[in-house]
Amino acid sequence: MRLSGGVEAALHCCVVLTAATEPVPAARLAELHGVSATYLAKHLQALSRAELVHSVQGKSGGYVLTRPPEEITTLDVVEAVEGPAPTFVCAEIRQRGPMAAPPEACTAPCAITRAMIAADRAWRAALREVSIADLGRSVAQDYESDVLGQIVGWLAPAEH
């Protein structure tokens, strides 16, 4: 079970956007991260569909966060990219074969499903605890320099 590579790119973009003061064009985010524009566009569109970012049109257009970064969790970003589907899907194997449990005994999920769902919830709860604002602060603490400020400086269009 492995998350797609898009999760890393999407989270890095969101963390950069926590510090941005102007809309950031998709092409600029792709260049910054050394990934192809097509690849990143797909993930930015997923973030947009999930209403975590939106695209401002026009000459100095680009992506902005739709709400304060304290209100966007790591889970929001992961689910935007991966979809909200649970990690474990029960195919009701207990209802197959010669000793199949009758349907009326299977109105509630089986013990195995319950254990798997509990673990899925623990994973999501851990991701929900960390906002992208938290991630931005941790990045700032990790480096001695104001790395997000420098990145935002690089992203900014030349002054007129």
- All residues at 6 or more sequence positions from 75 whose CB lies less than 8 Å from its CB, including other chains: 124, 127, 128
Q: Which stretch binds a second copy (CB under 8 A): 41-49, 50-58, 62-70, 87-95?
A: 87-95
The CA distance from 155 to 84, in Å, is 31
Q: Does 27 bind a second copy (CB under 8 A)?
A: no
* HEC per residue, 51-91: CCEEEECCCCCEEEECCCHHHCEHHHHHHHHHCCCCCCCCC
158 lines the binding site for a second copy (CB under 8 A): no
- Closest CB to a second copy among 57 and 125? 125
Q: Report the partner that residue 32 touches, choosing among ligand FES, a second copy, none (CB closer than 5 to 8 A by kind).
A: a second copy
**Rounded alpha-carbon distances, angstroms, from residue 24 to 38, 58, 90, 159:** 16, 12, 42, 15
Q: How many CB atoms neighbour CB 44 within 10 A?
A: 26
Q: Which of these ranges, 28-36, 66-74, 105-113, 147-155, lies near ligand FES under the rule CB under 6 A?
A: 105-113
Q: Which residues bind ligand FES (CB under 6 A)?
A: 8, 12, 90, 92-94, 110, 112-113
Q: Which residues bind a second copy (CB under 8 A)?
A: 1-5, 7-9, 11-12, 15, 31-35, 74, 82, 85-91, 93-94, 96-101, 105, 108, 110-112, 114-116, 118-127, 130, 134-135, 138-139, 142-143, 147, 150-151, 154
